[in-house]
Amino acid sequence: MLDKLNIIKQRFDEVSDLIIQPDIIADQKRYIKLNKEYKDLKILVDKREKYIELTNNISEAEEIMADGSDAEMVEMAKLQLEEAKEALPNLEEEIKFLLIPKDPEDEKDVVVEIRAGTGGDEASIFAGDLYRMYAKYCE
């Protein structure tokens, strides 16, 4: 997983370098596309940093516990190890979810038309209920 995150970090660095170039800023369509990619990659890069921090905390705590010269440090290392091991699986799940490729259709807009059919007032009430249901779902 760390290999994939490192590749994403490289792409993030490329995009951040591209965004500040004047010729890219002049081309608004490309600039908007790169800016959107930058924001998407930023989330993964932040999770990568947190993942690296947690794995480093685990290894440091294990080293301190293996040394065992200072009882106070060993106690703190145990707490740090426990916290890191508790947070690591949740973070891994979040990263796995973020690594799933996005559907290109997700970016498109949708138009839904709801009309009351035959049935008079009851059809209108149902159409209103259906509209509110879809509106809440979209929120």
Based on the domain organization, do 94 and 123 belong to the same domain? no
In angstroms, rounded to a whole number, what is the distance separating the alpha carbons of residues 92 and 80? 18
Based on the domain organization, do 52 and 79 belong to the same domain? yes
Residue 68 has pLDDT above 80, yes or no: no
For residue 92, what pLDDT is reported? 92
- Residue 37: count of CB within 10 angstroms of its CB: 16
12 Cβ contact partners less than 8 Å away, ≥ 6 residues apart: 38, 41, 42, 44, 45
What mean pLDDT is predicted for residues 117-130?
Answer: 89
Residue 13 has pLDDT above 80, yes or no: yes
For residue 52, what pLDDT is reported? 93
Residue 48 has pLDDT above 90, yes or no: yes
Based on the domain organization, do 96 and 127 belong to the same domain? no
Domains contained in the chain, number: 2
Residue 97 has pLDDT above 80, yes or no: yes
Based on the domain organization, do 66 and 20 belong to the same domain? yes
Based on the domain organization, do 49 and 67 belong to the same domain? yes
CATH number at residue 56: 1.20.58
